[in-house]
Amino acid sequence: MKNYILFILSLFFFSCRAYYVPNENSTPMLSQKNNLFLNASIGGGLRATNYTGSVAYSPINNIGMVYQSSIYSNGENNNNINKGVFNELSLGYYQLINNKLLIELYYNRGFGSSKNYYTDFQTKIEGSYETAFNKNSMNFAIGKVGEQFGISFFTRVGRLDLYDVRFRNIFNSIVEEELNNIKNKRYFTFIEPGLTANFDVKYFNIYLKGSMSVLDEYYTKLHFQQFQITYGLQLELNKLFKK
């Protein structure tokens, strides 16, 4: 009975694991030459909380560039710590039609890693697993823009390459099987659609994003963050500099 209870507890703490947590979708809402935006956001889901900073710039009409950096964590407790980092560069095209409809298309190249540390309830042995990955993707967004309010639909399609999976002292056979499956498969395709609502307040754009992540394998989907809500603040530096 004691071993059964410990096994159930181990499943509970391992359920907090996250092999991959999606970063914020890079749809910067650039609409004209010399737009320069700074973004800060926080996104949350069942697996972890994402903290993201980014800068977006349009050097010429219809061309945008974005650099994004994020960290995530599930918080810390005595038995399970999960953390990760991700960096991404994006280059793309945008088109503003009649000052009302904004279309965006971006190519993204990113790289990241995750680490999970835990302690066995019974033996007190410390264990861990680590992953490192690259991600290539395309973002598409289309939405209505206005002086104070806008809304848009976006989706990201791409390929995740979990090229490095390492672990030690994995006492849970289910987790060990999952990690071996990921290590053997390595490549995953995904689609990540969502919606954005934004409000302009002077130099700032306040936005709310809801998104989901769907991968091509059933056995891992429960341990990739599937749903996320993101709250963000965008500073429009080009407006500030004009003043």
Side chain identity, residue 128: S
**Which percentage of the chain shows pLDDT scores above 70?**
85
Range of the domain at 36: 2-242
For the chain, the average pLDDT equals: 84
pLDDT value of position 222: 60
Query: What value does the mean pLDDT take over residues 165-188?
Result: 83
Query: Of 233, 213, 175, 132, nearest to 16 (Cα)?
Result: 175
In CATH, what number is assigned to the domain containing residue 189?
Answer: 2.40.128
- Residue 76 banded pLDDT, cuts 50, 70, 90: low
Helices 173-185 and 2-14, axial angle in degrees (round to 10): 40
CA dist 73 and 63 (Å) reads 33
Residue 4 has pLDDT above 60, yes or no: no
pLDDT tens digits, one per residue of 143-156: 998 778 999 999 99
Number of independent structural domains in the chain: 1
